Every structure is written in structure tokens, then in C-alpha cells.
């Protein structure tokens, strides 16, 4: 194996490791954003439900 082949193999391994880390961070970020959207939707539903319940009782 000559020197350029060794550096090619090292480059491929480094590229795979960096890509793995980036994809992991990206999926974690997407999961967090998706979870945040779901929480916001549920919070809005609960808010309007509570507002409707309390507005009926005061009348």
C-alpha cells in the first residue's frame, strides 16, 4: 500500500465519522423541533378548552 492509498482510506474513515456526527445532530434537532411543535399544538388545544370551560361557568 502506498502513501496516497493510506491517506485515501484515512480520509474516507474521517468523512464517514464526520457525516455520522452531522446526521446525528441533524436528526436530534429535527426531533426537538417536531416535539416542540406537538407541545405547542397540545398547549393551544388545552388553553382554548380551559378558556371555553371557564367562560361557560361565569355566565
Helices (H) and strands (E) in the chain, counts: 1, 0
Cα(13)–Cα(4) distance, integer angstroms? 14
pTM above 0.85, yes or no: no
Q: What's the pLDDT tens digit per position in 14-49?
A: 999 999 999 999 999 999 999 999 999 999 999 999
Instruction: State residue 56's pLDDT score.
Output: 78
DSSP state of 30: H
- Helix/strand/coil percent split, the chain, to 5: 95, 0, 5
Amino acid at each position: 500500500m502506498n502513501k496516497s492509498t493510506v491517506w485515501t482510506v484515512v480520509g474516507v474513515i474521517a468523512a464517514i465519522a464526520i457525516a455520522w456526527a452531522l446526521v446525528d445532530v441533524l436528526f436530534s434537532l429535527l426531533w426537538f423541533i417536531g416535539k416542540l411543535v406537538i407541545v405547542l399544538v397540545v398547549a393551544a388545544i388545552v388553553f382554548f378548552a380551559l378558556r371555553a370551560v371557564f367562560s361557560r361557568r361565569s355566565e
